[in-house]
Chain A
Amino acid sequence: MKDNKNTPIWLKASAAYVSSLMSALFIFIALCAVDGLMKSGPSLFCSVWDPERGNFGILPMIWASGLLSLSSLITGWTFSVGCCCFIHGFGPRWAARFLANILRIMTAVPTVVYGFASVFLLVPLIRNGLGGSGFSWLTASIVLSLLIMPTMVLSMDSAFKTIEAQTSITSAALGFTREQNIAMVVLPASKQWIWSSALLGFGRAAGDTLIPTMLAGNAVQYANTPLDAMRTLTAHIGLVLSSDVGGTAYLSLFVAGGILLFVSISANILFRLMRKKIWMQG
């Protein structure tokens, strides 16, 4: 049915429009990042952020971004696997349905609302319970892991569903219970899906701006304990641009944007490659 000569012109135009916008975004950000790297070069990769004296070190922000996204990914991912198991047989049926509904509702909650509620609920809890100011790596990490869970669970869940449908009768005939089937058959068989959804979660965690800005305290430093404040790359871009430092400080932001773009794109390409491999095998 594909008759390319008869393609309506507005469809061609919109496809061209979308792809040119996409390339414009990439070219602009990449050019600006390269420009920033050339102009301020090594001064970017030091630990001091003091624009008035000409120090634009973004190393602490890179460190914070990596630390925060990895830590929330690890907790979020582990809990996502747990939730998937809970939904598929480890929990009572009513609770499983309840959990699945909650996860679906969670996708509808705006990030800023999570941040707002956490500022007034979680931050005082941590301040009174564990000490410090409450605005810390730990706080941001908890909320961020909650934020990225629905995406990961939904993507793992679809794999679980397919594989469970394929194997449940056979393994029941072998005398497996549903729990045993999940643990011994489905979980190993969907290994690649589970790993690839971690990439999905990582992309979201590294790119999120609101949660780190609102909850992580934004101090430029290397956070060593979970109660230390930190400032991520995303928060850095938002804070500096919206407070208008101006001038050469922008250059470091472009580099930060370039790094973010590179990381999230690589995670996505890796994700696509993995899924493609699974398709080939299947």
Chain B
Amino acid sequence: MDARIKLLRILAWLSAFFVICSFLMLIGFLIYHGAPVINTSLFFGNTAPLEAITGSRPVWDGIWPAFIGTLCLVGLTMAISLLPGIGCGIYLARYSEGRKKEMLSMAVDLLASVPSIVMGLFGFVLILFLRRTLAPDATTCISLAAFCLALLVMPALVVTTRSSIESLPDSLVTTGISLGFTEQQMLLHILIPAAGKGILGGIMLAMGRAAEDTAVIMLTGVVVNSGLPAGLGSKFEALPFLIFYTAAQYTDQEELLRGFGAAMVLLMLSAALLYAASKLQRTMEKHWKGAR
């Protein structure tokens, strides 16, 4: 017994040491190099910020196009995935039972376990298929990337929506019924507002995943130099791909520093989204804890 505890004690300290040290070293290294370069010239390069923001002059040596590309991509992804994701979550929580429920929740679970590169491959196959059948000049573009990312973030949306609706106290539903609400009214006026914070948390989580993923967009139309995304069918730039590309192909110190800056910006973006998500979920849990 003593030997076992001693062994575990060594393992515990060793692993804590490993995690804390490597994490602090990696992130510290990043902040050390990345924090000083965060300023307007990181975003806009030599272009005047106002002209860059209005798009009247292209930005060549800043991360602005990639930043906007990522924002557009995330926005488009959410536009595609929000309604079906939340709808499916509510359906799972309230309107399905037995075998159907089990099958659907298993499907969502399996979808969550599909590696993101396979999602990208799916998008690629889809384009090949479209080219052979309906649209001979279809090509990879921002809408395709958003469609595949929507698949990737769907499980997060479904699962958080489902668990926030399921965590609501039964008395809410009973009250609704006793007041003569129809299902539709109950959903819109009682359940969705009550679970709102949890659902919003899920949305933030999904946005974070969409913003950070690189493997999917790598196969579905991201490029290094396209400027601001021109439309739904155009190629686009994105922060994660810019970082990925810089790590392998940088040519001078300036580009390298831009890469560090981009990594910092992406890190802050995704940390902020995840922080908001966990905060929202925790307030919701606290709110309904006494009412169950």
How many angstroms between the C-alpha atoms of A80 and B14 in the bound complex? Answer: 11
How many angstroms between the C-alpha atoms of A105 and B4 in the bound complex? Answer: 31
* Complex interface: chain B residues within 8 A of A257 (CB): 117-118, 121
Q: Kindly state whether residue B215 has any CB partner on chain A within 8 Å.
A: yes
Instruction: Tell me which of A44-52, A115-123, A165-173, A189-197 binds B.
Output: A115-123
Q: Kindly state whether residue B109 has any CB partner on chain A within 8 Å.
A: yes
Please tell me if the beta carbons of B87 and A102 are within 8 angstroms of each other in the complex. Answer: no
Please tell me if the beta carbons of B91 and A15 are within 8 angstroms of each other in the complex. Answer: yes
Q: Kindly state whether residue B226 has any CB partner on chain A within 8 Å.
A: no
Please tell me if the beta carbons of B20 and A111 are within 8 angstroms of each other in the complex. Answer: no
Interface residues of A in 14-71 (CB under 8 A from B): 14-15, 17-19, 21-23, 25, 28-29, 32
Q: Kindly state whether residue B219 has any CB partner on chain A within 8 Å.
A: yes
Contact A108 B94, CB 8 Å, known A113-B266, A115-B247: no
Please tell me if the beta carbons of A238 and B19 are within 8 angstroms of each other in the complex. Answer: no
Q: Kindly state whether residue A90 has any CB partner on chain B within 8 Å.
A: yes
Please tell me if the beta carbons of A86 and B15 are within 8 angstroms of each other in the complex. Answer: yes
Q: Kindly state whether residue A112 has any CB partner on chain B within 8 Å.
A: yes
From B16, B111, B118, A82 is in contact (CB under 8 Å) with: B16
How many angstroms between the C-alpha atoms of A241 and B118 in the bound complex? Answer: 12
* Complex interface: chain A residues within 8 A of B124 (CB): 241
Q: Kindly state whether residue B230 has any CB partner on chain A within 8 Å.
A: no
Q: Kindly state whether residue B5 has any CB partner on chain A within 8 Å.
A: yes
* Complex interface: chain A residues within 8 A of B273 (CB): 108
Interface residues of A in 93-142 (CB under 8 A from B): 95, 98-99, 102-122, 142
Contact A14 B30, CB 8 Å, known A83-B12, A112-B212: no
Please tell me if the beta carbons of A109 and B27 are within 8 angstroms of each other in the complex. Answer: yes
How many angstroms between the C-alpha atoms of A214 and B182 in the bound complex? Answer: 55
Please tell me if the beta carbons of B158 and A86 are within 8 angstroms of each other in the complex. Answer: no
Q: Name A4's closest neighbour in chain B (CB-CB).
A: B95
Please tell me if the beta carbons of B115 and A90 are within 8 angstroms of each other in the complex. Answer: no
Q: Name A214's closest neighbour in chain B (CB-CB).
A: B247
Please tell me if the beta carbons of A82 and B15 are within 8 angstroms of each other in the complex. Answer: yes
Please tell me if the beta carbons of B88 and A90 are within 8 angstroms of each other in the complex. Answer: no
How many angstroms between the C-alpha atoms of A1 and B240 in the bound complex? Answer: 46
Instruction: Tell me which of B48-56, B100-108, B194-202 binds A.
Output: B100-108
Q: Name B30's closest neighbour in chain A (CB-CB).
A: A117
Q: Kindly state whether residue B35 has any CB partner on chain A within 8 Å.
A: no
Please tell me if the beta carbons of A112 and B243 are within 8 angstroms of each other in the complex. Answer: yes
* Complex interface: chain B residues within 8 A of A73 (CB): none
From B112, B208, B215, B246, A209 is in contact (CB under 8 Å) with: B215
- Give the number of residues in B that approach A within 8 Å (Cβ atoms): 93
* Complex interface: chain B residues within 8 A of A8 (CB): 183-184, 187
Please tell me if the beta carbons of B113 and A7 are within 8 angstroms of each other in the complex. Answer: no
Contact A117 B122, CB 8 Å, known A18-B158, A80-B15, A209-B215: no
* Complex interface: chain B residues within 8 A of A74 (CB): none
From A1, A32, A253, A269, B173 is in contact (CB under 8 Å) with: A1
Contact A11 B4, CB 8 Å, known A86-B16, A149-B19: no
Contact A112 B8, CB 8 Å, known A6-B182, A99-B19, A210-B214: no
Q: Kindly state whether residue A280 has any CB partner on chain B within 8 Å.
A: no
Please tell me if the beta carbons of A180 and B15 are within 8 angstroms of each other in the complex. Answer: no
From A19, A102, A112, B266 is in contact (CB under 8 Å) with: A112
Interface residues of B in 111-145 (CB under 8 A from A): 111-122, 124-126, 128-129
Q: Kindly state whether residue B25 has any CB partner on chain A within 8 Å.
A: yes
Please tell me if the beta carbons of B95 and A106 are within 8 angstroms of each other in the complex. Answer: no
* Complex interface: chain A residues within 8 A of B60 (CB): none
Q: Kindly state whether residue A219 has any CB partner on chain B within 8 Å.
A: no
How many angstroms between the C-alpha atoms of A51 and B27 in the bound complex? Answer: 40
Report B's interface with A, CB cutoff 8 A: 1, 4-5, 8-9, 11-16, 18-20, 22-27, 29-30, 33, 83-88, 90-92, 94-97, 103-104, 106-122, 124-126, 128-129, 151, 154, 158, 173, 177, 182-184, 187, 208, 211-212, 214-215, 218-219, 240, 243-244, 246-248, 259-260, 263, 266-267, 270-271, 273-275, 278
Report A's interface with B, CB cutoff 8 A: 1-4, 6-8, 10-15, 17-19, 21-23, 25, 28-29, 32, 78-83, 85-86, 90-91, 95, 98-99, 102-122, 142, 146, 149, 179-180, 182-184, 187, 203, 206-210, 213-214, 234, 237-238, 241-242, 250, 253-254, 257, 260-261, 264-265, 267-269, 272
Known: A23-B107, A183-B8. 19 other contacts (CB 8 A): A6-B182, A13-B84, A18-B88, A25-B118, A28-B126, A81-B15, A82-B16, A90-B12, A91-B13, A91-B16, A95-B16, A104-B278, A112-B212, A113-B212, A118-B26, A119-B247, A187-B8, A209-B218, A234-B117
30 contacts between A and B (CB under 8 A): A1-B177, A13-B84, A14-B83, A18-B107, A25-B118, A25-B151, A29-B121, A82-B14, A85-B8, A86-B16, A91-B16, A102-B19, A108-B270, A108-B274, A108-B275, A109-B271, A110-B211, A111-B212, A112-B244, A117-B27, A117-B29, A120-B247, A142-B22, A209-B117, A209-B215, A213-B244, A241-B120, A241-B124, A261-B118, A272-B109
Rank and list the top 4 A-B pairs by shortest CB-CB distance, nearest first. A207-B115, A14-B87, A82-B15, A110-B212
